[in-house]
C-alpha cells in the first residue's frame, strides 16, 4: 500500500478555498489527472498504477454524523488534511472512538485502476478494519465496477468502545472467473429462548425489567454478519413474545419471598447447513409439499443428469410441488434482493401464483439495482413445476392420522386452603381421523383422581374438560393426560402438568387500641405504635407488623404508604 497525494485534487482544493476558477488544458489533461505525489522517502513524483491481482489503495473519506451516532475524529496527522470537509487521507489516518457507542461512517472514493482486465471478474472491497486486532468490522464488495469512477460506501451503526481505533482499506481483486466461493443456503429458523429475572423485592426486579422492555416494540432488530468471508449480512429480529410473573413464598407468607419475571423471546434467524440431493430423498413430508426457492448457484442447471431442483420434484411421496432456482452462477447481493422482492409480490401485492410472484420479484429486483447484473438472473432463474399453482399460506393443519394433544392446563398457582379448585384442560385432536370415546385422566402427584370420556372430537377440533379438587395444605403436581391412540407416533404432547401451592389459612384477629399520634414526633410515631401493641401483649418480639399509614399525611412529601416493620 503506497500513500500518495492526487495532484489535481490539491490544485482544485486550493482554487475552491480561494473561490477561484481556472481554465487549463494541462490541468484537465489525462496525464495531470493521473499525477500523484507519492509519500515515499525520495518524495518522488509519478503516475500510480493499479495492482491487477490484489492490493490496497489510499483515498479520501468523509465521516458524517447521523441520528444519534457519534462522530469519530482523526488522531494521526502524518499527512495533511485534504480539505475542510472532514475528509482525510486513509493511508495513515485512524479514527479513535471518544466514547462507547454506535458510529456512522460515510466513505467516498474517487478511483482509477490501470491495466483493468475487462475479460476477468473484477471486484472492489471497501473494509473498515480494527487497528488493534486487524479484524474487519464491516465490509462492502462491488462486483465488476467500471475501471474509473466514484464509490460511496456507508458503514452505519458500527459499535466502538472508548479508545478503539479503525481505518479504511480499499482493495481491488481480479481473477479469470474460475474461482468460486460457496456457502450453504440460509434456512429461516425460529429459535426460542428465555431470560429470567429473580429478585427479593418488586423494586429490584422492576429496575432490571424496565431496562429491557423499551427496546422491544415488540421486536428488536440486529444486523448480523452471518458469514464474514462472504459478507453475508442479515437482519435478525428478536421478538418479545410474552412475560410471565411469579411471586413465590417458602412455606407460609411469613417466610422468605422471591419474585421471578420470565421473558420469552423468539430469534427469527437463519441456519446455514448442508442439504444435498440425498437429504431431499430422505425427507418424510408425504402429504405436505412446499414450494422451494433456491437463491444459489446452478441449483437448476440443465447440464447435469439430475440437478438439485429436479430431485425435489422427482422424489416419490416427498420433496416439493415446484422449484425455482438458477441454471447459472449468481451473485449474493442480487440473490438476496430477489428473495425479498418475491415475498413482497406475494404478501404485499397478493400475487399468489408461483409464476406471478417470481416474475414480479425479478422485476422489482431489476428496478432496485437499476439493471446492472440483473440480466443474468432474468435469464437463468427458471421454474421447475407448474407456474400456475397457488401457494397455500394458511396453517397446513394435521400431518398424521392419529395425534391427541393435552395442550393447556388452567389452574391457579396459589390457592387458599379450604376452597374447591376447578381444574380446566384443553384436549385437541390434531390427527386426520375423527375420534370417539376418548379417555382423559386427572392426576395429583401421579395418582389417578378422576377421569372423563369425551364422546366425539373431530379432526382439528378442541374440547375443554373440567375436574374439581378439594386439596389440603401443601404443594402438588397437578396433571391431565389424554389416552394414547393405537398408531399414534407423537406421544410427548399427550400430558400436561403444573405445580400448585395450597396456602394455609392465616391466623388473624382484630383488637382496636386507642393511640394518640399527636403525642409523638414524626420520626418515632411508628415505633411508639408498635411498643403500644407489645405492651398489650398482642405481639411478640420478632413478629411483623403492618403499618397502613405513614407518620405524615396531607402535606407535600407525606408518607402515606403501607410499611411492614419488625417488632
Instruction: Give residue-wise pLDDT tens across range 333-390.
Output: 888 889 889 999 998 888 989 999 999 999 999 998 887 888 888 999 999 999 999 8
Q: Which residue has the cell 482509477?
A: 112
Give the count of beta carbons closer than 10 Å to the beta carbon of residue 76. Answer: 16
Q: By mean pLDDT, which of 387-401, 441-455, 463-477 is the weakest? A: 387-401
Which cell numbers hold the place of 472?
A: 389440603
417 DSSP assignment: T
Q: Quick one: pLDDT band at residue 78, thresholds 50, 70, 90?
A: very low
Q: Which class for 336: exposed (0-12), middle (13-18), buried (19 or more C-beta within 10 A)?
A: middle
* Residue 534, domain extent: 517-566
Of 156, 175, 194, the residue at which a domain comes to its end is 175
Q: By mean pLDDT, which of 90-94, 150-154, 260-264, 449-453 is the weakest? A: 90-94
**Both 525 and 494 in a single domain?**
no
- CATH number for 488: 2.60.40.10
**Both 261 and 208 in a single domain?**
yes
Question: What integer is the mean pLDDT of 410-414?
Answer: 85
452-486 in b/e burial notation, b at 16+ Cβ within 10 A? Answer: bebeebebeeebebebebebeeeebebbbbbbebe
Which among 295, 386, 377 has a CA at the least distance from the CA of 336?
295
Is 284 within the bounds of a domain? Answer: no
**Both 380 and 303 in a single domain?**
yes
**Both 71 and 166 in a single domain?**
yes
Is 285 within the bounds of a domain? Answer: no
pLDDT one-digit tens code per residue, 190-247: 888 989 888 888 888 888 888 888 888 878 888 888 877 666 778 888 999 889 888 8
Q: Quick one: pLDDT band at residue 391, thresholds 50, 70, 90?
A: confident
Q: How far is the CA of 20 from the CAs of 13, 84, 86, 424, in angstroms?
A: 10, 16, 21, 86
Domain count, the chain: 5
* Rounded Cα distance, 101 and 124, in Å: 29
Is 39 within the bounds of a domain? Answer: no
Max Cα separation, the chain? 110
Of 448, 468, 503, the residue at which a domain comes to its end is 503
* Rounded Cα distance, 162 and 96, in Å: 8
Q: Quick one: pLDDT band at residue 502, thresholds 50, 70, 90?
A: confident
Which among 290, 289, 294 has a CA at the least distance from the CA of 309?
294
Which among 144, 126, 148, 124 has a CA at the least distance from the CA of 48?
148
Torsion angle, CA of 204/207/210/215, rounded to 10 degrees?
A: -120
**Both 477 and 550 in a single domain?**
no
Is 33 within the bounds of a domain? Answer: no
* Rounded Cα distance, 514 and 161, in Å: 64
N- to C-terminal Cα separation, the chain = 78
**Both 410 and 374 in a single domain?**
no
**Both 170 and 192 in a single domain?**
no
3-state secondary structure of 379: helix
**Both 144 and 251 in a single domain?**
no
**Both 375 and 410 in a single domain?**
no
**Both 408 and 469 in a single domain?**
yes
Between 88 and 75, the higher pLDDT residue: 88
Which among 233, 218, 196, 225 has a CA at the least distance from the CA of 266?
218
Which pLDDT value is given to residue 550? 59
Question: What integer is the mean pLDDT of 547-564?
Answer: 53
Q: What is the mean pLDDT of the chain?
A: 76
- CATH number for 367: 3.40.50.1460
* Rounded Cα distance, 428 and 490, in Å: 13
**Both 445 and 538 in a single domain?**
no
Amino acid at each position: 500500500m503506497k500513500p500518495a497525494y492526487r495532484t489535481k485534487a490539491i490544485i482544485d482544493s486550493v482554487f475552491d478555498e480561494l473561490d477561484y476558477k481556472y481554465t487549463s488544458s494541462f490541468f484537465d489533461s489525462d496525464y495531470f489527472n493521473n499525477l500523484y505525489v507519492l509519500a515515499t522517502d525520495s518524495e518522488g513524483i509519478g503516475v500510480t498504477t493499479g495492482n491487477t491481482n490484489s492490493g490496497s489503495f489510499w483515498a479520501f473519506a468523509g465521516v458524517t454524523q447521523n441520528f444519534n451516532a457519534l462522530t469519530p475524529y482523526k488522531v494521526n496527522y502524518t499527512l495533511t488534511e485534504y480539505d475542510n470537509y472532514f475528509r482525510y487521507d486513509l493511508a495513515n489516518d485512524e479514527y479513535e472512538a471518544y466514547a462507547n457507542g454506535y458510529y456512522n461512517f460515510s466513505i467516498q472514493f474517487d478511483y482509477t485502476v490501470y491495466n483493468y482486465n475487462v475479460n476477468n471478474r473484477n471486484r472492489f472491497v471497501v473494509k473498515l478494519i480494527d487497528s488493534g486486532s486487524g479484524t474487519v468490522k464491516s465490509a462492502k464488495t462491488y462486483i465488476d465496477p467500471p475501471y474509473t469512477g466514484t464509490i460511496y460506501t456507508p458503514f452505519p451503526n458500527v459499535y466502538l468502545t472508548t479508545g478503539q481505533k479503525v481505518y479504511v482499506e480499499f482493495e481491488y481483486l481480479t481473477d479469470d472467473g474460475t474461482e468460486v466461493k460457496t456457502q450453504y443456503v440460509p434456512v429461516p429458523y425460529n429459535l426460542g429462548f428465555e431470560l429470567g429475572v429473580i429478585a427479593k423485592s418488586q423494586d429490584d426486579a422492576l429496575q432490571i425489567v424496565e431496562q429491557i422492555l423499551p427496546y422491544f416494540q415488540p421486536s428488536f432488530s440486529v444486523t448480523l454478519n452471518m458469514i464474514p468471508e462472504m459478507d453475508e449480512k442479515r437482519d435478525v429480529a428478536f421478538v418479545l413474545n410474552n412475560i410471565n410473573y411469579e411471586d413465590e413464598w417458602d412455606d407460609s407468607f411469613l417466610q422468605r419471598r422471591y419474585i421471578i419475571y420470565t421473558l420469552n423471546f423468539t430469534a427469527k434467524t437463519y441456519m446455514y447447513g448442508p442439504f444435498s440431493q440425498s437429504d431431499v430423498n430422505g425427507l418424510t413430508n408425504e402429504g405436505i409439499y412446499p414450494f422451494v426457492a433456491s437463491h444459489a448457484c446452478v441449483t437448476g442447471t440443465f447440464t447435469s443428469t439430475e440437478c438439485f431442483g429436479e430431485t425435489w420434484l422427482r422424489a416419490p411421496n416427498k420433496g416439493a410441488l415446484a422449484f425455482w432456482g438458477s441454471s447459472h452462477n449468481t451473485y449474493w447481493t442480487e440473490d438476496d434482493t430477489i428473495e425479498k422482492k418475491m415475498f413482497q409480490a406475494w404478501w404485499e401485492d397478493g400475487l399468489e401464483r408461483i409464476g406471478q410472484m417470481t416474475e414480479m420479484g425479478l422485476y422489482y429486483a431489476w428496478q432496485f439495482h437499476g439493471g446492472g447484473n440483473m440480466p443474468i438472473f432474468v435469464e437463468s432463474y427458471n421454474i421447475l413445476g407448474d407456474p400456475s399453482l397457488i401457494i397455500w399460506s394458511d396453517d397446513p393443519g394435521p400431518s398424521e392420522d392419529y395425534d391427541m394433544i393435552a395442550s393447556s392446563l388452567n389452574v391457579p398457582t396459589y390457592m387458599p386452603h379450604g376452597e374447591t379448585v376447578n381444574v380446566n384442560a384443553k384436549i385437541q385432536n390434531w390427527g386426520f381421523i375423527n375420534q370417539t370415546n376418548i379417555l382423559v385422566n386427572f392426576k395429583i402427584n401421579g395418582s389417578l383422581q378422576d377421569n372423563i370420556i369425551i364422546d366425539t372430537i373431530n379432526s382439528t377440533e378442541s374440547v375443554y374438560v373440567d375436574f374439581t379438587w378439594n386439596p389440603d395444605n401443601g404443594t402438588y403436581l397437578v396433571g391431565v393426560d389424554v389416552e394414547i391412540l393405537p398408531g399414534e407416533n407423537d406421544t410427548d404432547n399427550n400430558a400436561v402438568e403444573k405445580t400448585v401451592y395450597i396456602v394455609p389459612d392465616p391466623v388473624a384477629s382484630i383488637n382496636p387500641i386507642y393511640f394518640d399520634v399527636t403525642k409523638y414526633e414524626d420520626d418515632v410515631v411508628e415505633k411508639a405504635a408498635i411498643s403500644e401493641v407489645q405492651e398489650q401483649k398482642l405481639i411478640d418480639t420478632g413478629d411483623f407488623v403492618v403499618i397502613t399509614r405513614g407518620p405524615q399525611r396531607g402535606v407535600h412529601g407525606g408518607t402515606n404508604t403501607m410499611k411492614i416493620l419488625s417488632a
